[in-house]
Structure 1
């Protein structure tokens, strides 16, 4: 049962903004301040999990690396297993892989080929949605397993960068807890 007091916590005010990191003009949204605050962390996990309590979710997938923090916690909150979506070369068994574009170049995500099946209902979780390229690659991987992808949940949305809309265009509902306008 969610703690009503935790819904009153202003998560946005706890996330630190670091100007000009990693380069001039970028406003970096530093979640380490939220991670260090036990009540805020608990509130974030409960709020990420709440919309999916009665949706039949059988697993939560989290994107390397901060998505592991929130994804695992949400999986525990929902009483289901966790699927790591890893950077290339980190998984020891047969994998599916998906390339995706970065600002300069490409990268690759992988999941175990047997991570999910058509019998699974999966929720994708990450800490932040910006341009949506990484989330889109993770969605592609999960869909290739045949699972039912019930949604994608993010702590932070940077709506000016369009990532949440990009995920929605893949027919995946999006839930975010806080939004920061601008980069």
Structure 2
């Protein structure tokens, strides 16, 4: 009888440990998803107001005026990135990636000057964060479902399906008590995904 009782208590103990671990993982998964959803909602409300001054200068909408040269105003970029950081959702890694895109465009425009131009700038022709799928993503936030989730130590990878043609991937880092987004991209495994074309 004692042996049976000890086996039952052992099973209950191990089951409770396994259940507690599963619950902890589910809580972290929900926290990561909520961080991503909250960011998308924040971005929907604030994306148009992050750039307080033009990042690209030198557009020439006037056909009479000549010799305007396109350039990236890196001071305006820093203000934009500072406004982005103030949202509290993104990491320094994410901001440095955006900074490197603007720096690359700036370097290209310095080497290959573009005069009297009014049109899309290569690498900046779509939303710098969500690409050409910005509206599709932001219009389907409420439909977000977790497709894949992986957490290792203080890193998380989550894939959210927003619609049949929209699945985005986030990588995040846990900083103290909250998660910060390091990267946003599209799931290339879904051949119908708007980001895989």
TM-score range, shorter-chain basis? under 0.3
For normalisation by structure 1, the TM-score amounts to 0.27
Tell me the TM-score normalized by structure 2: 0.26
| Rg comparison, structure with higher value | 2
Pick the structure with more helix per residue: 2
Greater percentage in strand:
1
